């Protein structure tokens, strides 16, 4: 099983987005999660650092500047989705990636406090 570390740049990015109220509170993450085409389109206009800022996890041993390096997506490349944070908490918890789980949980709590 892959090992993940927390992507601190993503945590900072998502925190800023939440504080700026750049979020969606009600969505179905399975329906709005960027597919491969949307990811490729984003990468055509942005660098890997910007792409990575939308992922809470870094895959251990994966090659830099590949999609496989990044895991636990939290938004649609414009806004953070509450449903994505919930999915991250759930998936990280299910597979016992505790650091990622706690980072996603903390961001979810921040979002809930901010959105009232």
Counting other chains too, the contacts that 35-42 makes at CB distance below 8 Å and 24 or more residues apart are 38/76, 38/77, 39/67, 42/77
Alpha helices in 1-116 (DSSP H): 8-19, 29-32, 36-45, 48-52, 82-94, 98-115
pLDDT at residue number 112: 98
pLDDT tens track for 78-112:
999 999 999 999 999 999 999 999 999 999 999 99
pTM listed for this prediction: 0.96
pLDDT tens track for 15-57:
999 999 999 999 999 999 999 999 999 999 999 999 999 999 9
pLDDT tens track for 55-71:
999 999 999 999 999 99
Q: Closest Cα partner for 13 from 97, 92, 91, 70?
A: 70
- The answer to whether residues 71 and 55 touch, using CB atoms and an 8 Å cutoff, is yes
pLDDT at residue number 1: 77
């Amino acid at each position: 099983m892959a090992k993940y570390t927390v992507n601190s740049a993503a945590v900072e990015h998502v925190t800023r987005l939440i504080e700026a109220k750049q979020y969606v509170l009600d969505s179905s993450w399975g329906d709005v999660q960027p597919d491969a085409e949307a990811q490729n389109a984003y990468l055509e206009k942005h660098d890997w650092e910007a792409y990575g800022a939308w992922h809470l996890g870094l895959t251990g041993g994966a090659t830099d500047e590949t999609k496989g390096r990044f895991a636990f997506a939290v938004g649609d490349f414009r806004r953070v989705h509450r449903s994505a944070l919930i999915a991250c908490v759930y998936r990280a918890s299910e597979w016992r990636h505790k650091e990622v789980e706690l980072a996603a949980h903390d961001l979810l709590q921040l979002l809930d406090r901010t959105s009232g």
